[in-house]
Structure 1
Amino acid sequence: MKQKTIFTRFIQLWGIVFLIGTGASIIAIDVIGSYRVGCFRADQMRTNYIARQKQIIKQEVLRVVDMINYEKEQSTALTRTKIKTRVYEACSIAENIYQQNKSSKTAPEIQQMIIDALRPIRFEHGIGYYFVHHLDGMVILSGDKPGFEGLNLWDMTDTRGQYGCKDMTEIINKSGEGFYEYHWTKPNSAGNDFEKITFVKKIEPYDWYVGAGLYVDDVEKQIKADLLSAISRIRFGEQGYIFINRMNGDVLVSKGHLFSGTKKLWEVFNKNPENMKSLFDKEYNIALKPGGDYIYYSFVKLNTLDKESPKVSFIYGIPDLQWFVGAGVYIDDVENDIALMQGELNSHIKEDTLCFILISMGIIILFLFWFSRFNRRLKNDFNLFSSFFHRAAFSYELIDRDLVQFDELDRMAEDANKMLWERKKTEEELRCLRNYLSNIIDSMPSVIVGLDLDGKVTQWNNAAQRITGISSDAALGLSLEQAFPRLVSEMERVREAIRTREVQIDSRQVRKENGETRYEDVSVYPLVANGVEGTVIRVDDVTEQVRIEEMIVQSEKMLSVGGLAAGMAHEINNPLSGMMQTAEVLSNRLTRSDLPANVKAAEETGITMEEIQTFMEKRKIIDMLGNIRESGSRAAEIVSNMLFFAQKSDSSWPSYHLADLLDQIVELAGTDYDLKKKYDFRRIKIVREYENDLPLVSCESGKIQQVLFNILRNGAEAMQEYSDGSQQKTPCFVLRLVHELEAGMVRIEIEDNGPGMDQKTRKRVFEPFFTTKPTGSGTGIGLSISYFIITENHNGKMSVESIPGEGTKFIISLPVKRRRL
């Protein structure tokens, strides 16, 4: 037998190990903690440094962007001021010439002097010139295109389709002067699509205006050159500078140098062109973001051209100029401070480690002294417990707790004594629990079948016994195929539940029982707890639940259809009223000669009302207008019936003439037309046989009309199918209303000449979900709901009479006075 460890020696040994381990752990925790603090402080220094530098470079970039935008705005204003001043100078020249010569020279001579004075004038490095136009579009002077002089440019457009001459003339006529932007030719440049800002002003006393302009690209070129030169001199921090690239990769400003803009970024920094292209792609994507963003990469510093350092830059795009502006900071500048801090931390860790080692050695010496005294008392109690457990193996003798010295061991002795008695009690409770669980399972209405891994029955409740006729004792140990044959198809899902440890549920299984369709939910539950593996199959009959759900769905569909019909009826009424009113107005205006307005309008056009009426009669327009009004009235009546049918019933149950309700529903059914051409209600002959002086009947009109509509539609479909077969009868409904005076009821009879029903069908016609239509064509609840409405809601009677081949007659009797149910 293997030698056992002495417990007291074990405690002594592991006590020392514990103390040494605790001391080592404290040292390790302190070292690790210090290391983590150092790492945290280093990370925090890096994070704070990067955050501050990121804020700085963003501010620098945005400051440069603001400077660019400001210079652009100021340059535009300055340009406008320049050309406006030039035009005013030209007007002053013309005014002086006119005033000095108006008394001595003719107007043509003065005009020529003005033209000769303005023609040679050039400004803005020779690209600025004057032009003079007449207000009718005639070119008087063209400093750029002398060949245009004498031509009329009124209908001439620039390359963007602007009528420059017309637009400038409109400015002169409206304000006397103003700015205008268009696209035109440029001196010493090919093409005619140069954007130009022009100022025009009228020359008194002639119908002339003089203008001058500057080209936008020349202004922008000078602005860009000045801006780039200023930006290239910007510095911040030790290594900070602004860089600007074009969106196509051309370098404009980088590392404090100004470039011509003809070289790509990867051509200027060509040690690794592929990396530079990749960097440019990232910068380009960032520049497309509104508000700009940061980018991380490696790049050489200003004072070290052979080594790349990690860098973060802020990029901001300026779409108008096709530029993006950026500034960056080198992340590794903070590493020197971090290295100094880590050296100080290492020294601190060495000092703490030596201190903890000395403390741990002192604690171990104290522990050994204390344990030598504790060990003697502990051995005595262990000897007592050893003898007790030796006796407890073959007897129920209790522990003498007075001999136990330590409180913890005394509680163990108390628990050991309780264990003997609780074991007996537990065994009794286990037997009761088994019986209780068995009763619960047997009382459940669901079929419960337990299976082991081999598919053998381990549990069989009363519901399973009632369905199969096999008792629980006989079923236990049988295979599922032997005990419950119709559940054999579930074996695949049983294996799946065991494999996946997931519940397998198959809802709404359909089966036939005595010619009736039944629905079942079959659930398979895996058993994986407490070392027991297998499955439990539960079968629930949900036939009534399925039928109730189907009735609820159908009722909701009927409510939705009613609401839709009401909505459509309201929407149709508005244009229908307008159509009928317009037809009436047309008839009055075209036929009534007694209206003064009609006579006056006819005389103004050179005809008489008699001639109009003669024409209308010959072309039968009056009849056509009458047909419009008649058709509109017909449509309005149909809409009114739809609204009446769709409206919610009033809980007060007013009284109605059943003849009116029946006529309204027939009128509404006349609009029912199957899209698949199964039937057209309008082709059915209607015969009415109503008694006179019928009393009013208290009822819910909407529900009664629902019943009548169901009967009429079912009959119409049946007659259509019957007439499409070998029989050639004309479909016909006979509607009867009879007062049953003694019974206090009014009887409604709806008779058709369709195919009729045999006795078996007639007996089941009011059963829920019974239908003779093909699958998908009917739910089988229409007549059952109708029967419920008549018999339960209105305390009436409903029956059916039918002879195969001769037709069907539904009979409904409603009490004249409402009787509370």
Structure 2
Amino acid sequence: MKDNEKEILRIIKYLPVALILIISSLLTYFLYNQNINQFHSENQKLEEKYISLNKDLTKFQIEKIKSNILYEKKEQIKNLKKELQNQVNNAHNIAYSLYKNNKDKLAREEIISLIKDALREIRFNENRGYFFIYDISSGRNILHPIKPNLENKDLWSYQDTKGTYLLQEMNKILQAKEATYFNWFWTKPDELNKEYEKIGFFKKFEPYDFFIGTGEYIVDFEKQLKQKITRSISDFRYKEDGYVFILDFDGNYLSYYNKKYIGKNLFDFDIVAGQENILKKLKDKAMTSGYLSYQHKDKPFNKNTIKKITYVDSVKDWNWIIGTGFYMDDFYKDLEIKKKYLEESNKLALQKLFIGSIFVTLLLLFIFIYLSRLLEKKFYNYKKSIEKQMNDNIKKDNILAQQSKLAAMGEMLGNIAHQWRQPLSTVSTIVSGIRLHRELGNKDEDLENESFLKIKKHIEYLSNTIDDFSNFFKPNKLAKEFQLEDMINKTLQLVENQLVKENIILIKEIQNKKIYGFENELIQVLINLINNARDELVKSDEKKLIFISSKKNDKNIIIKIKDNAGGVNPLILDRIFEPYFSTKGDSKGTGIGLFMSEEILVKHLNGSISVENINYDFEEKVYKGAQFTIIFPINHFESKEYLS
């Protein structure tokens, strides 16, 4: 130890100085070369930085625009639904007003005719929207202003191209609620051979058991929305000349900075060098989104052929390719400016480097010489404090261990007394019986021999009890193989009489496993936990239960002990493993049982212990109690002897 201390002190004194000189020299040389290399590498990296920054910018612009498109589509559908609902509500109000004003004057069919006449000519949504009426129960059409030939026809069995029975579905839905949105397929007035998806709103008219509805073709709605979006994107700009283009999957321009291209095909213009396959490349890349580079001939304000890097994405359900890019000629302009700046800054940086290196070296030498002396003094003081702390900790641990053992011995002596009381009483009774027989002159050798065998049996039981308890208190412990179930059974034999005395029922659920470790240490931990549960249960007037279970996985053993004593006060739940912390009072508890249990599991068994309050069911009744969980590895301990 003394030789090591001298070596440490020499290192403290001389190593920092030597290291400073070496490191300072190497660092100066390194920084000099680094500065020169950086000057050259900056030129090489500038293009990568420029491309990376602009890639991020173009990707951000496209992702933002795509997000806006999807948001706008979603919002417009919401607005469309709201508009359809408002229109149907207005039509419903008109119909109900006619019914209310004429129900006592006109017949049912006459009122329905008034309603049909009132709604037949109403149009909205740029004259595409109209109202229709169907009988809910029969599927008979009552009003269809666009196809009057359908009126009074039974459409109960009508199926659209998706196989939906429209009127039957309406019957099911409107039986349960007053109104609903619905999607279905229907022919256009000018295209009778093809059905298009519609979105509509239907509302029940209670007086006559029919519903009023309207709808909008999705394709017409989207056509308007697409026109609005493409016009907006054509006018959009970012940076000086950044724009966004939109092509459909056939290569037709839907949006472009130069509006003369809109409505025409990509291949109508010579704006991409080698553009034979450009549409396929754009489409393939847009399906997964990504970057594409090519030679472009149509940069705003510059018609030269320039390398362009473009980020493209798609709006798949509209068959759109959206993209934007940047031109590399802007980079070369920035590069010339950057080169001049780097040359000037590099010269100045080298001058500062040499001056700073000399100053820092001298300063560090002074600081480290001072620190080495200070560390030498601190080392001696720290050494003394460590030695003192170690001695104090050893004494403290010994005291705690002894207190824990004494507390356990007190519990065990009580258990011995309980386990001996019955056999001793039986032996006393047998001896008294033999003596009484002899005093009465009734000498019976067979009876006496049988009595002696019983006495021998009870004496052997007492001897085995002494062996069980003496094994638990042996000071030298040796790691060995043992069965988990045997260890738990030994524990329960040591505390069984105390539990029986207090009418405590113990329930086991053991998954056996061969373990290599310290058996008695685990027994001590389990006894502590069972005794604590017992002390709490004796306060209870209801059925007293303790459960002990074990299970295993590939690496660990998990033991759980729970009771139905009501649990631990939440205010002290995180303190119960502290030394000398007890809720039993000075006369009953030392406050070291759970502390030593945690010490044994953590330091001797490389495990852990935790506690929680739980509610659980047992025999169709809910109980509340504390549950302790012990986890430790199956095969961790070295085969060595140690003092408990």
**TM-score where L is the length of structure 2:** 0.46
Structure number with bigger Rg: 1
Q: Which has the higher contact order (CA 8 A, sep 6+)?
A: 2
